[in-house]
Chain A
């Protein structure tokens, strides 16, 4: 890895006695798409605010674009595009005015912004809403506008905190496509998400966070390889019998996770395992064989699901 764009060592953030981020280390290279995966309250958004140079760390070292955010906050923020978890648009202004005014915060000229707004409206598919007040937009439209706004300054680092929450599946895929294109142009992406499909799609590398700590780090494929089997068999015997059956199945697979509504059996070949279960005279009500995902990695690392 060439000299990292972002480098954190022992990064810690405390709110009184509560430790939101607990001595984490990570590097992000230029052009990389780096993800923070974890459940709500894992410390992802706090980490994002510290990287975003708006929240000061309690201890540890951090450099972004070679600068310490404690001393050079505005200089760093000038090169960040931030898409917060909660849209914070100016509700009194129209769609295009929101883009214009946000561009002005970066000192961009009227001439530059005039052309840029047209590009961004097309990007966000909001051309027909350019003069509409933000208050009148749907949730998905507001989200797309917030994302477009984050791009107005052509940032070196684009930070997206739960970017597709509230978007419909089609809009999510469109956004993923746009983010890929930006990545191809060398934009560094920092993404937090609790959707594992999103993390798998978008992130070159990610850290799994829980309770302020980094539990594991690697590419999605590597994490799945390291912490799970190739396939997972999900079976249901009915909630009252799952627990009893799980005990009988324990020796048939590498690992077993008992969830309230189903049992997860980790095995290199799910179909083979299912046949073994039927051969043993057990008949689950439903069964599903699927590939392991980051959800399984998370379950393995924390003993909890991402939506817990």
Chain B
């Protein structure tokens, strides 16, 4: 057998230092290879999602709202312009969840391929980081496409509008990394999805100042916005895309909130993955 005759042995062909320094990239490569199987679906969603949302709610519903709001508009702009940054952040978050929660559940619960990865020199930290990096690629792609659709719809009014791309990406991966850490702990995901979709995602989407300013909601509901990465990202997005009024301290608060969430989620998921694989 050629397999046996040509054998040189791992001591000669493998450089463990290389794996220790680049392992996360190998995991990301594996994730991207899997993701590429669905690339047309991912691209179709990335384009159809903003086009349909911006047309139906931004332009369609917006026509009624703009009419009743008069020349002052909503926050001084057309409803489409007001709504678009929130939808941008929502798409980023949704993309990040898709690429962090599902691979994590596959890896630990469904196919257990994380255990296969961990049987090589790849560590739990590297698996968590690799999944994160692959989701970052997906989120960047989704946000950039969304941003250009917003541009086509005339929803970008500020010269700083391009900065809404990194802030939306940060919101997406911050939320994604938190859900990645949670998914890494799940033994029974069915209950989680019911609770997560109904009691986390839906309230966040509805009560994060997405469709109307947070300040127009009753005071006892506004706390949802304050803990929601979607609201923080939306506020930054509105400031950057059309000049929504914002103090410097609030801009810093929004950025620090999202960044903190990202750091907490990233390091928690690494810890959760390592602990679960070591059992």
Contact = CB atoms under 8 A, between A and B. Distances in A.
Interface of A: 52, 54-56, 73-75, 77-80, 82, 84, 86, 88-93, 97, 101-102, 104-108, 112, 119-120, 122-123, 149, 151, 153-156, 178, 181-182, 184-187
Contacts of A80: 119
B111 interface: yes
Contact of A101 (B22, B29, B37, B115): B29
A86 B112 CA distance: 9
Interface stretch (B7-15, B147-155, B238-246): B7-15
B20 to A, nearest CB: 6
Instruction: Sort A-B residue pairs by CB-CB distance and give the 7 closest, nearest first.
Output: A82-B119, A78-B16, A88-B116, A105-B120, A74-B121, A78-B121, A92-B34
A182 B4 contact: yes
B26 A107 contact: yes
Contact of A105 (B2, B13, B15, B121): B121
Contacts of A151: 3
A90 B36 CA distance: 14
Nearest to A184: B4
Contact of B13 (A56, A108, A120): A108
Nearest to B38: A92
Contacts of B120: 77-78, 82, 102, 105-106, 153
B187 interface: no
Nearest to B103: A92
Given A89-B116, A92-B34, 10 more contacts: A74-B123, A88-B116, A107-B26, A112-B13, A122-B3, A151-B3, A153-B120, A154-B7, A181-B1, A187-B7
A150 to B, nearest CB: 8
B9 A156 contact: yes
Contacts of A89: 111, 113, 116
Interface in B163-177: none
Given A88-B115, A106-B14, A107-B26, A54 B278 contact: yes
Question: Would you call the interface of chain A mostly helix, strand, loop, or mixed?
Answer: loop
Interface residues of B, number: 42
A55 B34 CA distance: 28
Contact of A93 (B2, B33, B277): B33
Nearest to A186: B9
18 contacts: A74-B121, A74-B123, A75-B16, A77-B120, A78-B19, A88-B112, A101-B30, A104-B26, A104-B30, A105-B30, A105-B121, A107-B15, A107-B18, A108-B13, A112-B13, A119-B6, A155-B10, A182-B4
Given A89-B116, A123-B1, A151-B3, A73 B123 contact: yes
Given A84-B119, A107-B19, A79 B11 contact: yes
A55 B274 CA distance: 11
A116 to B, nearest CB: 8
Given A89-B113, A105-B23, A56 B14 contact: no
Given A77-B119, A78-B14, A123-B1, A56 B278 contact: yes
Contacts of A182: 4
A105 B16 contact: no
Contacts of A122: 1-3
Contacts of A78: 10, 14, 16, 19, 120-121
A10 to B, nearest CB: 20
Interface string B31-47: 00110010000000000
A174 to B, nearest CB: 11
Contacts of B106: 91-92
Contacts of B121: 74-75, 77-78, 105-107
B74 interface: no
A186 B14 CA distance: 17
Interface string B97-128: 00000000010000111011111111100000
A78 to B, nearest CB: 4
Given A75-B16, A151-B3, A84 B115 contact: yes
A188 B242 CA distance: 67
Contacts of B33: 93, 97, 101
Contacts of A104: 26, 29-30
Nearest to A105: B120
A74 B122 CA distance: 7
Contacts of B118: 54
Interface string B212-239: 0000000000000000000000000000
A175 B120 CA distance: 22
Nearest to A155: B10
Question: B4, B8, B22 — which one has the most chain A CB atoms within 10 A of its CB?
Answer: B4
Question: A74, A151, A155, A182 — which one has the most chain B CB atoms within 10 A of its CB?
Answer: A74
A105 B111 contact: no
Contact of A153 (B10, B115, B278): B10
Contacts of B6: 119
Contacts of A156: 9-11
